[in-house]
Amino acid sequence: MSGQSSLESLTLQTLALSKEVLRGMRDLVFPRDCLVTGIGLDEDGHHYLSGEAVRNLYPIRSPHCQTCGFPFFGELIGTRECPHCIELDPDFEQGRSLLLARDTGRALIHELKYRGGAYVLSDIQRILADVPEFRTFLEGATLIPVPLHRKRQRKRGFNQSLLLAELFAREVNEASVANILCRTRNTSSQTRLKRRERHNNVKNAFALRRGAIIDSGIRYVLIDDVFTTGATLNACSKVLRSAGAGQIDVATLAHG
Ligand SMILES: [Zn+2]
């Protein structure tokens, strides 16, 4: 990472942190309500989620698709084809998600991404504590956040994938963060695009940062907020693969 981008990243992280501190100060004056239901909070260890919101969280546990982490409901008989991975020709090996992007999971992402709600990381940390198999998946890995284009990052003030990677690295044994990818094209939002369009939209949109080194003996896990079609994670995997990476896996906060 160059000195200037390192400084820029530091400044952006500081800004995100300042919002968190301000939120904390406001909470001292006004009692908090659940960010999903708006009702008062229970004393169950969650900072911003009521018991009702927690009941509408869907942490993902086995059995699930090995490629994208989507849960298989009911009894698993033989191998089951995952609807999310049928057309995906993954350049990564395995994928996991912590939650389904439904109900409370969707609200957490929305708060984190679009409302600058870095404070929800404290509840994501709490959820992470309840899903040991997700933590085990990240153990010993070098976590690489999916980058935002610098213009979008400047507008948002932070990269949510970097914040998630840093949280995961703090909570998992022997994991570290390497912020070594950059976005070379400011691609349009994937939200309204169909599967094929998503792949074309992010094709060749990523590169290694100048001076970044890939070690073929390291296990890398790409980190993003949501897995939808896998297009973005696949495009990032291709960059790592062509730079000589050996094992590449992916992990996201939620599966959409
Ligand atoms: Zn899948």
pLDDT band (50, 70, 90) for residue 27 = low
Q: Is residue 176, in this structure, part of any structural domain at all? A: yes
Distances (CA, A) of 17 to 23, 74, 112: 10, 41, 12
Alpha carbons within 13 angstroms on the beta-carbon side of residue 89 total 3
Residue 23 scores a pLDDT above 90: no
Q: Is residue 118, in this structure, part of any structural domain at all? A: yes
Convert the pLDDT of each residue in 67-113 to its tens digit.
999 998 765 555 667 888 888 889 999 999 999 999 999 999 999 98
State in Å: Cα 218 to ligand 1 middle: 24
* DSSP assigned state of 59: B
Decide: 233 and 250 in contact? Cβ < 8 Å: yes
CATH code, domain with 91: 3.40.50
State in Å: Cα 136 to ligand 1 middle: 19
pLDDT band (50, 70, 90) for residue 114 = confident
State in Å: Cα 49 to ligand 1 middle: 29
Show Cβ contacts of residue 177 under 8 Å, excluding neighbours closer than 6 positions: 142, 143, 144, 145, 162, 165, 166, 169
Beta strands 181-183 and 206-208 are: antiparallel
Give mean pLDDT, residues 175-188. Answer: 91
Residue 7 scores a pLDDT above 70: no
Q: What is the pLDDT of residue 223?
A: 98
State in Å: Cα 83 to ligand 1 middle: 6
Q: What is the pLDDT of residue 28?
A: 53
Convert the pLDDT of each residue in 123-153 to its tens digit.
999 999 999 999 999 999 999 999 999 998 9
- Please enumerate, as own/partner, the contacts of 204-208 that have beta carbons within 8 Å and a separation of 24 or more: 204/235, 205/235, 206/147, 206/181, 206/182, 206/235, 206/236, 206/239, 207/181, 207/182, 207/239, 208/180, 208/181, 208/182, 208/239, 208/240, 208/243
Q: Name residues with Cβ closer than 5 Å to ligand 1, which is an ion.
A: 65, 67-68, 70, 82, 84-85
Decide: 255 and 68 in contact? Cβ < 8 Å: yes
Q: Which residues pair with 248 in a beta bridge?
A: 220
Q: Which residues pair with 254 in a beta bridge?
A: 99, 226
In the block, tokens 């080194």 appear at 213
Range of the domain at 213: 57-255
State in Å: Cα 215 to ligand 1 middle: 27
Number of domains forming the structure of the chain: 1
Element (H, E) at 163: helix 160-171
In the block, tokens 């942190």 appear at 17
Amino acid at 216: S
Of 154 and 27, the structure prediction assigns the larger pLDDT to 154
Q: Is residue 199, in this structure, part of any structural domain at all? A: yes
State in Å: Cα 66 to ligand 1 middle: 7
Least confident of 16-25, 115-124, 159-168: 16-25
Residue 5 scores a pLDDT above 60: no
Decide: 249 and 219 in contact? Cβ < 8 Å: yes
Q: Is residue 46, in this structure, part of any structural domain at all? A: no
Q: Is residue 42, in this structure, part of any structural domain at all? A: no
Q: Is residue 61, in this structure, part of any structural domain at all? A: yes
Alpha carbons within 13 angstroms on the beta-carbon side of residue 211 total 7
State in Å: Cα 140 to ligand 1 middle: 23
Q: What is the pLDDT of residue 116?
A: 81
State in Å: Cα 125 to ligand 1 middle: 25
Q: Is residue 34, in this structure, part of any structural domain at all? A: no
State in Å: Cα 245 to ligand 1 middle: 22
Distance CA 206, CA 186 (A): 10
Q: Is residue 104, in this structure, part of any structural domain at all? A: yes
